[in-house]
Protein backbone atom coordinates (compact mmCIF):
# COMPACT_ATOMS: atom_id res chain seq x y z
CA UNK A 1 0.00 0.00 0.00
CA UNK A 2 1.29 3.48 -0.82
CA UNK A 3 2.81 5.19 2.22
CA UNK A 4 0.59 8.25 1.84
CA UNK A 5 -2.53 6.05 2.19
CA UNK A 6 -1.22 4.72 5.51
CA UNK A 7 -0.60 8.27 6.72
CA UNK A 8 -4.09 9.38 5.72
CA UNK A 9 -5.68 6.36 7.38
CA UNK A 10 -3.78 6.95 10.60
CA UNK A 11 -4.80 10.61 10.56
CA UNK A 12 -8.46 9.57 10.19
CA UNK A 13 -8.19 7.18 13.15
CA UNK A 14 -6.46 9.77 15.33
CA UNK A 15 -9.25 12.23 14.58
CA UNK A 16 -11.90 9.70 15.62
CA UNK A 17 -9.98 8.97 18.81
CA UNK A 18 -9.59 12.64 19.70
CA UNK A 19 -13.32 13.26 19.27
CA UNK A 20 -14.17 10.25 21.44
CA UNK A 21 -15.93 8.41 18.61
CA UNK A 22 -13.58 5.42 18.81
CA UNK A 23 -13.50 4.26 22.42
CA UNK A 24 -12.23 0.68 22.35
CA UNK A 25 -9.02 -0.99 21.24
CA UNK A 26 -10.71 -3.55 18.89
CA UNK A 27 -12.49 -0.82 16.92
CA UNK A 28 -9.31 1.28 16.76
CA UNK A 29 -7.27 -1.66 15.46
CA UNK A 30 -9.90 -2.52 12.84
CA UNK A 31 -9.99 1.05 11.49
CA UNK A 32 -6.19 1.17 11.52
CA UNK A 33 -5.84 -2.03 9.50
CA UNK A 34 -8.64 -1.89 6.91
CA UNK A 35 -7.73 0.05 3.72
CA UNK A 36 -10.92 2.05 3.10
CA UNK A 37 -9.71 3.31 -0.28
CA UNK A 38 -9.89 -0.24 -1.69
CA UNK A 39 -13.64 -0.31 -0.97
CA UNK A 40 -14.18 3.03 -2.74
CA UNK A 41 -11.87 2.49 -5.71
CA UNK A 42 -13.21 4.05 -8.89
CA UNK A 43 -15.85 6.01 -6.97
CA UNK A 44 -13.78 8.76 -5.36
CA UNK A 45 -10.04 9.61 -5.47
CA UNK A 46 -8.05 7.36 -3.13
CA UNK A 47 -6.86 10.29 -1.00
CA UNK A 48 -10.49 11.28 -0.31
CA UNK A 49 -11.36 7.85 1.11
CA UNK A 50 -10.02 8.81 4.54
CA UNK A 51 -12.07 11.97 4.93
CA UNK A 52 -14.88 11.73 7.46
CA UNK A 53 -17.64 11.77 4.87
CA UNK A 54 -20.32 9.50 3.46
CA UNK A 55 -19.96 8.28 -0.14
CA UNK A 56 -22.85 7.55 -2.49
CA UNK A 57 -22.36 4.25 -4.30
CA UNK A 58 -25.54 4.07 -6.30
CA UNK A 59 -28.34 6.59 -6.58
CA UNK A 60 -30.85 6.23 -5.14
CA UNK A 61 -30.52 3.98 -2.17
CA UNK A 62 -26.94 2.86 -1.51
CA UNK A 63 -24.07 4.60 0.23
CA UNK A 64 -21.10 4.07 2.52
CA UNK A 65 -21.54 5.87 5.85
CA UNK A 66 -18.95 8.30 7.14
CA UNK A 67 -16.27 6.72 9.37
CA UNK A 68 -17.53 8.37 12.57
CA UNK A 69 -21.00 6.83 12.08
CA UNK A 70 -19.57 3.37 11.38
CA UNK A 71 -17.32 3.63 14.43
CA UNK A 72 -20.27 4.67 16.62
CA UNK A 73 -22.30 1.68 15.44
CA UNK A 74 -19.44 -0.75 16.03
CA UNK A 75 -18.86 0.62 19.54
CA UNK A 76 -22.55 0.22 20.34
CA UNK A 77 -22.64 -3.31 18.91
CA UNK A 78 -20.14 -4.58 21.54
CA UNK A 79 -18.70 -7.07 19.07
CA UNK A 80 -16.13 -9.52 20.47
CA UNK A 81 -13.72 -12.11 19.02
CA UNK A 82 -15.41 -15.34 17.99
CA UNK A 83 -18.90 -13.86 17.66
CA UNK A 84 -21.09 -14.59 14.64
CA UNK A 85 -22.55 -11.38 13.19
CA UNK A 86 -25.12 -10.55 10.50
CA UNK A 87 -25.05 -7.25 8.62
CA UNK A 88 -28.03 -5.94 6.64
CA UNK A 89 -26.72 -3.62 3.92
CA UNK A 90 -23.31 -4.68 2.63
CA UNK A 91 -22.75 -1.66 0.37
CA UNK A 92 -19.03 -1.69 -0.56
CA UNK A 93 -18.08 -4.34 2.02
CA UNK A 94 -16.02 -1.95 4.17
CA UNK A 95 -18.08 -2.42 7.33
CA UNK A 96 -18.04 -6.21 6.88
CA UNK A 97 -14.24 -6.10 6.73
CA UNK A 98 -14.11 -4.07 9.95
CA UNK A 99 -16.32 -6.61 11.69
CA UNK A 100 -14.27 -9.51 10.34
CA UNK A 101 -11.16 -7.90 11.82
CA UNK A 102 -12.84 -7.55 15.22
CA UNK A 103 -14.30 -11.08 15.43
CA UNK A 104 -11.01 -12.50 14.19
CA UNK A 105 -12.37 -14.75 11.46
CA UNK A 106 -13.92 -13.64 8.15
CA UNK A 107 -16.32 -16.58 7.87
CA UNK A 108 -18.07 -15.49 11.08
CA UNK A 109 -19.38 -12.41 9.24
CA UNK A 110 -22.57 -12.69 7.16
CA UNK A 111 -23.81 -9.76 5.10
CA UNK A 112 -26.86 -9.18 2.89
CA UNK A 113 -27.14 -6.61 0.13
CA UNK A 114 -30.36 -6.02 -1.84
CA UNK A 115 -28.50 -4.78 -4.96
CA UNK A 116 -26.96 -7.66 -6.88
CA UNK A 117 -24.24 -5.54 -8.51
CA UNK A 118 -23.20 -4.05 -5.18
CA UNK A 119 -23.04 -7.51 -3.62
CA UNK A 120 -20.73 -8.66 -6.41
CA UNK A 121 -18.60 -5.55 -6.01
CA UNK A 122 -18.40 -6.05 -2.25
CA UNK A 123 -17.16 -9.63 -2.71
CA UNK A 124 -14.44 -8.36 -5.05
CA UNK A 125 -13.45 -5.59 -2.61
CA UNK A 126 -13.33 -8.00 0.33
CA UNK A 127 -11.21 -10.44 -1.64
CA UNK A 128 -8.77 -7.70 -2.65
CA UNK A 129 -8.49 -6.56 0.98
CA UNK A 130 -7.85 -10.12 2.18
CA UNK A 131 -11.30 -10.94 3.61
CA UNK A 132 -12.69 -13.27 0.96
CA UNK A 133 -14.15 -15.53 3.67
CA UNK A 134 -16.93 -13.05 4.49
CA UNK A 135 -20.31 -14.49 3.49
CA UNK A 136 -22.05 -12.01 1.17
CA UNK A 137 -25.55 -12.79 -0.08
CA UNK A 138 -27.67 -10.78 -2.54
CA UNK A 139 -31.30 -10.59 -1.44
CA UNK A 140 -33.93 -9.00 0.78
CA UNK A 141 -32.32 -8.46 4.17
CA UNK A 142 -35.64 -7.60 5.84
CA UNK A 143 -36.51 -11.31 5.56
CA UNK A 144 -33.33 -12.36 7.35
CA UNK A 145 -30.45 -14.63 6.38
CA UNK A 146 -31.71 -17.31 3.95
CA UNK A 147 -29.69 -20.32 5.14
CA UNK A 148 -30.99 -21.80 8.37
CA UNK A 149 -27.81 -23.70 9.19
CA UNK A 150 -26.03 -20.38 9.84
CA UNK A 151 -28.65 -19.12 12.32
CA UNK A 152 -28.78 -17.77 15.05
CA UNK A 153 -26.48 -14.75 15.26
CA UNK A 154 -25.00 -13.19 18.37
CA UNK A 155 -24.95 -9.74 16.81
CA UNK A 156 -26.92 -8.05 14.01
CA UNK A 157 -26.26 -4.63 12.48
CA UNK A 158 -28.70 -2.83 10.18
CA UNK A 159 -26.98 -0.14 8.12
CA UNK A 160 -30.18 1.54 6.89
CA UNK A 161 -32.67 3.61 8.85
CA UNK A 162 -36.01 2.12 9.82
CA UNK A 163 -38.99 2.91 12.02
CA UNK A 164 -39.29 -0.70 13.14
CA UNK A 165 -37.18 -3.83 13.26
CA UNK A 166 -38.24 -6.64 10.89
CA UNK A 167 -39.50 -9.58 13.03
CA UNK A 168 -37.47 -12.04 10.93
CA UNK A 169 -34.27 -10.38 12.16
CA UNK A 170 -35.41 -10.49 15.78
CA UNK A 171 -36.07 -14.21 15.35
CA UNK A 172 -32.56 -14.80 14.02
CA UNK A 173 -30.94 -13.06 17.00
CA UNK A 174 -29.99 -15.49 19.76
CA UNK A 175 -31.18 -14.98 23.33
CA UNK A 176 -28.94 -12.38 24.93
CA UNK A 177 -27.81 -11.14 21.52
CA UNK A 178 -27.72 -7.49 20.46
CA UNK A 179 -28.93 -5.64 17.36
CA UNK A 180 -27.91 -2.12 16.38
CA UNK A 181 -29.97 -0.01 13.98
CA UNK A 182 -30.58 3.64 13.09
CA UNK A 183 -34.16 4.14 14.37
CA UNK A 184 -36.35 6.90 12.94
CA UNK A 185 -37.72 8.73 16.00
CA UNK A 186 -39.29 11.76 14.32
CA UNK A 187 -39.19 13.47 10.95
CA UNK A 188 -35.58 14.36 10.32
CA UNK A 189 -34.40 12.71 13.54
CA UNK A 190 -32.62 9.37 13.45
CA UNK A 191 -31.09 7.90 16.59
CA UNK A 192 -28.80 4.94 16.97
CA UNK A 193 -30.24 2.26 19.24
CA UNK A 194 -29.15 -1.12 20.51
CA UNK A 195 -31.80 -3.78 20.90
CA UNK A 196 -31.22 -6.60 23.34
CA UNK A 197 -33.08 -9.88 22.83
CA UNK A 198 -36.23 -9.91 24.88
CA UNK A 199 -38.08 -7.06 23.12
CA UNK A 200 -36.19 -4.35 24.99
CA UNK A 201 -33.69 -1.93 23.61
CA UNK A 202 -31.31 0.52 25.19
CA UNK A 203 -30.80 3.62 23.10
CA UNK A 204 -27.94 6.00 22.51
CA UNK A 205 -28.30 9.33 20.74
CA UNK A 206 -25.98 10.54 18.00
CA UNK A 207 -24.32 13.78 19.10
CA UNK A 208 -24.64 15.02 15.50
CA UNK A 209 -27.32 14.94 12.76
CA UNK A 210 -27.31 11.70 10.76
CA UNK A 211 -29.27 10.50 7.75
CA UNK A 212 -29.28 6.92 6.51
CA UNK A 213 -30.68 5.30 3.40
CA UNK A 214 -34.14 3.87 4.28
CA UNK A 215 -34.46 0.14 4.89
CA UNK A 216 -36.79 -1.36 2.29
CA UNK A 217 -38.02 -4.83 1.53
CA UNK A 218 -40.84 -7.31 1.86
CA UNK A 219 -40.37 -7.62 5.62
CA UNK A 220 -41.04 -3.90 6.13
CA UNK A 221 -44.00 -3.95 3.75
CA UNK A 222 -45.56 -6.87 5.65
CA UNK A 223 -45.36 -4.87 8.88
CA UNK A 224 -47.13 -1.91 7.32
CA UNK A 225 -49.85 -4.11 5.85
CA UNK A 226 -50.39 -5.78 9.23
CA UNK A 227 -50.79 -2.39 10.86
CA UNK A 228 -53.26 -1.23 8.20
CA UNK A 229 -55.36 -4.32 8.86
CA UNK A 230 -55.34 -3.56 12.59
CA UNK A 231 -56.61 -0.04 11.92
CA UNK A 232 -59.31 -1.30 9.56
CA UNK A 233 -60.50 -3.81 12.15
CA UNK A 234 -60.50 -1.11 14.81
CA UNK A 235 -62.58 1.18 12.60
CA UNK A 236 -65.07 -1.56 11.73
CA UNK A 237 -65.49 -2.36 15.40
CA UNK A 238 -66.10 1.22 16.38
CA UNK A 239 -68.44 2.27 13.55
CA UNK A 240 -71.66 0.93 15.21
CA UNK A 241 -70.76 2.92 18.31
CA UNK A 242 -70.29 6.09 16.24
CA UNK A 243 -73.71 5.80 14.55
CA UNK A 244 -75.49 6.17 17.88
CA UNK A 245 -74.24 9.75 18.29
CA UNK A 246 -75.10 12.93 16.34
CA UNK A 247 -72.31 14.47 14.24
CA UNK A 248 -71.77 17.26 16.76
CA UNK A 249 -71.41 14.82 19.68
CA UNK A 250 -68.27 15.32 21.80
CA UNK A 251 -68.06 11.54 22.19
CA UNK A 252 -68.00 11.01 18.43
CA UNK A 253 -65.17 13.49 18.06
CA UNK A 254 -63.42 11.79 20.96
CA UNK A 255 -63.58 8.53 19.01
CA UNK A 256 -62.29 10.31 15.92
CA UNK A 257 -59.33 11.77 17.82
CA UNK A 258 -58.60 8.35 19.31
CA UNK A 259 -58.41 6.84 15.83
CA UNK A 260 -56.21 9.66 14.59
CA UNK A 261 -53.87 9.08 17.51
CA UNK A 262 -53.73 5.38 16.64
CA UNK A 263 -52.89 6.26 13.04
CA UNK A 264 -50.14 8.69 14.05
CA UNK A 265 -48.63 6.22 16.49
CA UNK A 266 -49.30 3.21 14.30
CA UNK A 267 -48.41 3.42 10.62
CA UNK A 268 -47.03 6.35 12.05
CA UNK A 269 -45.49 4.22 14.78
CA UNK A 270 -42.87 5.03 12.33
CA UNK A 271 -42.54 8.10 14.58
CA UNK A 272 -42.59 7.20 18.30
CA UNK A 273 -43.11 10.85 19.23
CA UNK A 274 -43.38 10.20 22.97
CA UNK A 275 -39.69 9.42 23.31
CA UNK A 276 -38.70 12.33 21.09
CA UNK A 277 -40.69 14.80 23.19
CA UNK A 278 -39.24 13.41 26.43
CA UNK A 279 -35.76 13.55 24.93
CA UNK A 280 -36.26 17.24 24.10
CA UNK A 281 -37.85 18.10 27.44
CA UNK A 282 -34.99 16.53 29.39
CA UNK A 283 -32.39 18.53 27.51
CA UNK A 284 -31.53 15.63 25.21
CA UNK A 285 -29.86 13.30 27.73
CA UNK A 286 -28.21 10.12 26.59
CA UNK A 287 -30.81 7.62 25.55
CA UNK A 288 -28.96 5.11 27.71
CA UNK A 289 -31.28 6.54 30.37
CA UNK A 290 -34.36 5.18 28.60
CA UNK A 291 -35.76 1.71 27.96
CA UNK A 292 -37.80 1.10 24.82
CA UNK A 293 -39.92 -2.02 24.51
CA UNK A 294 -40.72 -3.53 21.13
CA UNK A 295 -43.88 -5.43 20.24
CA UNK A 296 -43.77 -8.66 18.24
CA UNK A 297 -43.85 -6.76 14.97
CA UNK A 298 -40.78 -4.72 15.80
CA UNK A 299 -42.50 -1.40 16.58
CA UNK A 300 -41.71 0.68 19.65
CA UNK A 301 -44.51 -0.16 22.07
CA UNK A 302 -43.56 1.37 25.41
CA UNK A 303 -41.04 3.86 26.74
CA UNK A 304 -39.89 4.13 30.34
CA UNK A 305 -37.09 5.75 32.29
CA UNK A 306 -34.17 3.52 33.27
CA UNK A 307 -33.88 3.15 37.02
CA UNK A 308 -30.52 3.44 38.72
Rounded Cα gap, residues 123 and 19, in angstroms: 32
Rounded Cα gap, residues 65 and 62, in angstroms: 10
List the beta bridge partners of residue 304: 291
DSSP 63-105: EE--HHHHHHHHHHHT--TT--EEEE--TTSHHHHHHHHHHS-
DSSP class of 150: G
Q: Taking a C-beta distance cutoff of 8 angstroms, is the pair 109, 96 a contact?
A: yes
| From 62, 63, 65, 164, the catalytic residue | 65
Residues 6+ apart with CB under 8 A from 101: 29, 30, 33, 34, 131
> Left if phi > 0, otherwise alpha if psi is -120 to 50, otherwise beta: which for 266?
alpha
Q: Is 65 one of the catalytic residues? A: yes
Spatial CA neighbour of 102 closest among 195, 194, 186, 31: 31
Rounded Cα gap, residues 282 and 284, in angstroms: 5
Task: Give catalytic residues, as residue numbers.
Answer: 65
Amino acid sequence: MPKDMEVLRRRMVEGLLQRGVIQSSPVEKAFSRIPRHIFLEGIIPAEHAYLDQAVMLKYPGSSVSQPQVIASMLELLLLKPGMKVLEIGTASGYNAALMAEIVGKADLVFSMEKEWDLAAGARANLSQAGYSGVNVEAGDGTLGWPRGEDIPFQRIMITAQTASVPPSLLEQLETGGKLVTPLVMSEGVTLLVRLEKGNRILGKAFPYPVTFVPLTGEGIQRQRENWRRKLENLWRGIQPFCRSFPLDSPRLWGVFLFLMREVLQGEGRERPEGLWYKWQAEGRPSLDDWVLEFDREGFVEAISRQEG
